[in-house]
Structure 1
Amino acid sequence: MVQGVCPVLETPFSADGSIDESSFIRLVDHMVRSGVQSVMFPGFASEFHKLTDEERLHLTRILLQRTAGVPGFTTVISIPDHATAIAVDRAREAVAGGAGAINVLPPHFLGPSRPAVHAHLRSVIAAVAPIPVIVQFAPAQTGTALDAKALSALAEEAPNLVQVKVESTPPGTLISALASSDPSLGSLVGYAGVQLPDALRRGADGVQPGCSFVELYLDIWRLWHDGQHLKAEELHRRLLPYVSYWMQSVELIIAAEKEISVRRGMIDSAFCRGPGHGLDAFELAMISDFMNEFGDRLRDGVNTSFGNR
């Protein structure tokens, strides 16, 4: 099972809109150095919906090759394809390439029926057994209606369904319901970790934020699991005004995170393929404030001094 901080990788583009492969490699290497034990690609934060099939598969192969052999590291490959047959093929290809786990985004285009959604999930989960599978529940982005009972029933049919990425608002009730279901399911909280403290109190296995300031999430996670709950919550409270503003839309947080990644030297360009969100002067100033406030924590390597701050 995926545990701890599992960032979703962004897709770096050059200023002309082409894939920036060297920045992507640099980003992957930074994630490994940061101390995370897993990453996911491609998610909403990766602008997967703006990638050609060839681009997506090429970057997926680079990621799998780059992380192969990293001790204890799990590379989660997301399967957002709408057509069941294509999703099954992509999931199998990812596993053959070395994926340690598969994330499945339920189909949502044109509002498929609940039985159709469940059939799609069952097909993808069964196709990669026994590789562990995470189902991504993002109702605000997809309109998909799932509940703990339905997800637990899926897990009963397919034991390799082990976790749910919970991006409902609020996520806590579903996290608790999944944990108490039979069979129970683990949870990863998404949505930039806006409700991370509540998710931690309810026993979430991990958090899946973006990747531009992963060190902050690592600090919160370590503080909490070191028993320093108040310090973890204090750090989260400092982070919350920024992420709650950026999470007003997916395109906004993608643009903000890419700007942060550029300022940190992790990627070369903050270009986002259109349609996207253009950061205005006030939003750029907010990012400057963010960098000033958290700059001491945003550095290469594992932050080993979190307990003294």
Structure 2
Amino acid sequence: MNDTSLPIGFNTQTKGVYPIAATPFTADGAVDWDSLDRLTDFYQEAGATGMTILGILGEAQKLEPEESREIARRVIARSRVPVIVGASSPSFAAMRSLARGAMDMGAAGVMLAPASNLRTDEQITSYFDTAIETLGDDVPWCLQDYPLTLTVVMSVPVIAKIMQAHPSCMMLKAEDWPGLEKISTIRRLQAEGRLRPFSILTANGGLFLDFEPERGSDGAMTGYAFPDMLVRLDQLHRAGERDAAHDLFDTHLPLIRYEQQPGVGLAVRKYVLMRRGAIACDFQRKPGSKLSATGREEVDYLLSRLGRKNPSARIA
């Protein structure tokens, strides 16, 4: 696939911040469409380069197919930046339906993760061969590498084999942990001409965004509830202002770390988004977690400390 045929903003040279969007629900579990509109605006007003919807953070696995399509339609129609739609599914037919439908709506591309039952290198590469055959090689896509949650370990040689076999893959969402050496290895192979170019955006809640750009990442694709900070951090890295970038990162690190707790991380993130006025309610569909009163007090304390250190992060 030739990059010139792709929607602006999503190609092998994509840089910047693509926040992973939450899916807002009302207190009775229905999709909160008004909050979805407000959240879409929130990410754009933060300076996001693009948006990624219907990922793990977006509770995509808890949505009805009709809800997923309507969320995609609504966000794409409202967004002024490219939108990547998570289309991973145990069913190739469902994957194709959502992916092709999203592209018809104007999505910039889709994100695909390996099925969690894959174990061998051959199983992983064969899976993506079938997935792209099903979707069509005219659909630009992002490869999600997230072994901590998906339990599928993709080595650099496996990623390289997938990238070489499928030119329609524009981006690697790198969230292995630890992943710094993995990024460096990929960039070295590309510099040596042994691997074609593609964009690398990183995740893991932003935990390693202090050093990932220095290793060769092109930006962030994560759900940290301060996307405006992610944008500013990206700008500082690009300007070569290393100390300022690390200083900004350090002020947010306690909250970033708190968000990364297994089990309650999404509850923390949605609570902060609610506190920031981006969504009306922090409800999660079952199975989901909920912050205790003590947990909320701790998050409020972290937010107050963050606001004192960084006035732009202050919450009224």
Q: Same fold (TM over 0.5)?
A: yes
What residue in structure 2 maps to residue 200 of structure 1?
A: 213
**Aligned residues of 1:170 and 1:195 also touching (Cα < 8 A):** no
What residue in structure 2 maps to residue 224 of structure 1?
A: 237
State yes or no: 1:117 paired with 2:132.
no
Distance in 2, Cα, partners of 1:258 & 1:21: 16
Distance in 1, Cα, partners of 2:101 & 2:131: 12
Question: Identity rate of aligned residues, in percent?
Answer: 24
User: What is the CA-CA distance between 1:211 and the residue it aligns to?
Assistant: 5.4
Letter in 1 for 2:285: R
Out of 159, 162, 165, the residue aligned to residue 170 of structure 2 is 162
User: What is the CA-CA distance between 1:128 and the residue it aligns to?
Assistant: 4.4
Letter in 2 for 1:76: I
Distance in 1, Cα, partners of 2:104 & 2:129: 19
**Structure 1 pair 201/228, CA: closer, same or farther in 2 (3 Å)?**
same
Letter in 2 for 1:86: A
**Aligned residues of 2:15 and 2:199 also touching (Cα < 8 A):** no
Out of 209, 213, 234, the residue aligned to residue 222 of structure 2 is 209
Q: How does 1:1-309 map to 2 (within 5 A)?
A: 1=11, 2-67=14-79, 70=80, 73-108=81-116, 110-111=117-118, 113-126=120-133, 127-181=135-189, 182-184=194-196, 185-210=198-223, 212-249=225-262, 251-295=263-307, 296-298=311-313
Structure 2 unaligned spans of 5+ = 1-10
Letter in 2 for 1:120: Y
Distance in 1, Cα, partners of 2:139 & 2:187: 21
Structure 1 unaligned spans of 5+ = 301-309
Which of 207-216 and 195-204 deviates more? 207-216
**Structure 1 pair 298/129, CA: closer, same or farther in 2 (3 Å)?**
farther
Distance in 1, Cα, partners of 2:127 & 2:95: 8
Distance in 1, Cα, partners of 2:158 & 2:90: 20
TM-score when scaled to structure 2? Answer: 0.86
Letter in 2 for 1:62: R
Could you report, residue by residue, the CA deviation over 1:245-299 in whole angstroms, capped at 9, with x for unpaired residues? 32121x4221111111111111111111122222123321222123223443248
**Structure 1 pair 113/144, CA: closer, same or farther in 2 (3 Å)?**
same
What residue in structure 2 maps to residue 306 of structure 1?
A: none
User: What is the CA-CA distance between 1:111 and the residue it aligns to?
Assistant: 4.2
Letter in 2 for 1:29: D
Partner SS state of residue 135, structure 1:
strand
Distance in 2, Cα, partners of 1:279 & 1:40: 25
Distance in 2, Cα, partners of 1:272 & 1:78: 18
User: What is the CA-CA distance between 1:235 and the residue it aligns to?
Assistant: 1.5
Distance in 2, Cα, partners of 1:45 & 1:199: 21
Partner SS state of residue 285, structure 2:
coil
Which of 208-217 and 7-16 deviates more? 208-217
Could you report, residue by residue, the CA deviation over 1:38-64 in whole angstroms, capped at 9, with x for unpaired residues? 000111111112212221111111111
Letter in 1 for 2:89: D
Partner SS state of residue 196, structure 1:
coil
Aligned residues: 294
Partner SS state of residue 74, structure 2:
helix
User: What is the CA-CA distance between 1:224 and the residue it aligns to?
Assistant: 1.5
What is the RMSD of the two structures over their aligned residues, measured on CA atoms? 2.0
User: What is the CA-CA distance between 1:131 and the residue it aligns to?
Assistant: 4.1
Which of 42-51 and 124-133 deviates more? 124-133
